[in-house]
Amino acid sequence: MLIQRQETKILATLGPASFSPEMIRALILKGTDGFRINMSHEKAGDLAARVQAVRSAAAQENAAVAVVVDLGGPKIRVGTLPNGQINLVDGGQPILGADIPVSHPEILTDIRPGHRILMDDGKLELEVLGVVPNGVKTRVRVGGLLLQGKGVNLPDTELRLPALTDKDIEDLAAAVRAEADYVSLSFVQRPGDLLLARREAERHGRCPLLIAKIEKPQAVDRFEEILKVSDGVMVARGDLGVEVSPARVPVLQKHFISRCNAQGKTVITATQMLESMIQNPRPTRAEASDVANAVWDGTDAVMLSGETAIGRYPLECVGMMRDIIAEAEKAAPHRREPFPDATRVHALASAAVDAAEELHARAIVIITLSGFTAQMVAQRRPSVPLIAVVPELRIRNRLALVWGILPVIVPWGDNSDGLLAGMEKILVASGYIQLKDTIIIISGSTRLRGADYIMKIQAPSEP
């Protein structure tokens, strides 16, 4: 059996349209590689059951499936309004904090004259005139009807809000207890936000991999520093497209993906990818092109939000995304970012990919304890299928969102000979390889004697 060649992974958001065990299982069968649990709409007490539902469905299908817990972060929203709404007239001068209450009034001390205040996904815009005793005086530049609960964005303001709200801290502890694979942090502004989350998670156990959501100008400006301390990045184009000009978003997306590829860190492209399929059974042509372009940019995964959380066609969305990925990958340009470092693992990864492509190998089989060696091979974006042989379910699930990786659990035993024999038996029995195939086997750092930093070419005897 040929290894399925869908390198770009699919991350689907759970919600009322997809909470049932039957739907989760059906989404996995359609091609979902991971599920996002959006804590903006969930309680910490319900998280363990959500994670267990995914784990059970994945086990039934013997599938590697990642769980991403997405913390809500310090999202600023319009507070309670008389009659639930207020009409903002162009040129009017409402006071933010009095006429327009906000969910985090402490931000008022960070706002300066000339700063922009955007509301309802940027549909409404205010300009700050100055500070007054009961808030911040503004002028309406783009007016309209403002409803309570709508989002507030301050693209010019560096906020001193804590990176984790009280709810985030509770949700993060629940994610650690539930053994989530990834936790994504919303509204990251600086590297210290990731470090704070890591320390907080470690108070409760093993820290999941941390994904920084890039959606504020401050994160754009500090991207390299944030990338260094994160395990991956989400290009969160929703709020990002409000806080910076929408014209910049495609360019920033390409830059962020390229930098993550160079570092071998997971990158997820998110928001409005097949938005119209919330209500319609087919996407727009522009949406199909958007997904394809993310694939060509080199993203590890593409994400569905409302499409699978609240949409009418969750299964059709995953199926359509899978089909677009398959077509895009047929025409994907060759990508191979240079390695930023020169270590044994990087040299091994490069050698394995070169050998596999020269010999037209069926696969590169990567023996990896932590998943790091597999990620470095994937970083080379080879044209050869990648199989990661891992010792435990935790690493298998993490690798489910990494480009091109098919993770397989193989019992390691206590010596390399036993591992290689058992590995070959399992891979052949599963139909991933055949005994006559040429495969490249590599191993990074392991706990087995004689199995560290090796590369083996396994091929039929030449006549």
In the block, residue with structure tokens 């919330």: 278
36 catalytic, yes or no?
A: yes
Across 298-315, average pLDDT: 97
- Say whether pLDDT at 116 is over 70: yes
pLDDT, position 68: 98
Active-site residue (options: 271, 299, 308, 446):
271
The Cα 21–Cα 254 span in angstroms is 36
- Band of the pLDDT at 448, cuts 50, 70, 90? low
Q: Which residue has the higher pLDDT, 339 or 324?
A: 324
- Say whether pLDDT at 1 is over 50: no
Active-site residue (options: 55, 75, 77, 150):
77
- Say whether pLDDT at 463 is over 60: no
Backbone angles phi, psi at 369, to 5 degrees: -80, -45
Q: What is the per-residue pLDDT across 355-380, written as a single tens digit (0 to 9) for each?
A: 999 999 999 999 998 999 999 999 99
* Residue 42 to residues 157, 172, 198, 216, 253, Cα–Cα distance (Å): 29, 12, 21, 23, 28
Query: Over the chain, what is the mean pLDDT?
Result: 93
213 catalytic, yes or no?
A: yes
The Cα 84–Cα 191 span in angstroms is 37
The Cα 20–Cα 143 span in angstroms is 42
DSSP state of 432: S
Across 409-419, average pLDDT: 76
Q: What is the per-residue pLDDT across 119-156, written as a single tens digit (0 to 9) for each?
A: 998 999 999 999 999 999 999 999 999 999 999 999 99
- Say whether pLDDT at 225 is over 90: yes
Q: What is the per-residue pLDDT across 45-78, written as a single tens digit (0 to 9) for each?
A: 999 999 999 999 999 999 999 999 999 999 899 9
Active-site residue (options: 9, 116, 213, 237):
213
Instruction: Show the domains of the chain with their CATH numbers.
Output: 9-73+162-330 (3.20.20.60), 82-153 (2.40.33.10), 344-458 (3.40.1380.20)
139 catalytic, yes or no?
A: no
77 catalytic, yes or no?
A: yes
Across 421-438, average pLDDT: 85
Identify how many contiguous H helices and E strands the chain contains and give both numbers.
15, 20
pLDDT, position 2: 44
Selection from 119, 159, 158 nearest residue 142 by Cα: 119
Active-site residue (options: 9, 36, 50, 398):
36
What tokens were used for 11? Answer: 């991350």
Specify the pTM: 0.93
pLDDT, position 453: 84
Selection from 38, 10, 26 nearest residue 400 by Cα: 10
Q: Which amino acid is at 455?
A: M
pLDDT, position 5: 60
Instruction: Give the number of other Cβ atoms within 10 Å of residue 114's Cβ.
Output: 10
Q: Is the four-CA dihedral 341, 342, 348, 354 of positive or negative sign?
A: positive
pLDDT, position 461: 55
Across 218-240, average pLDDT: 96
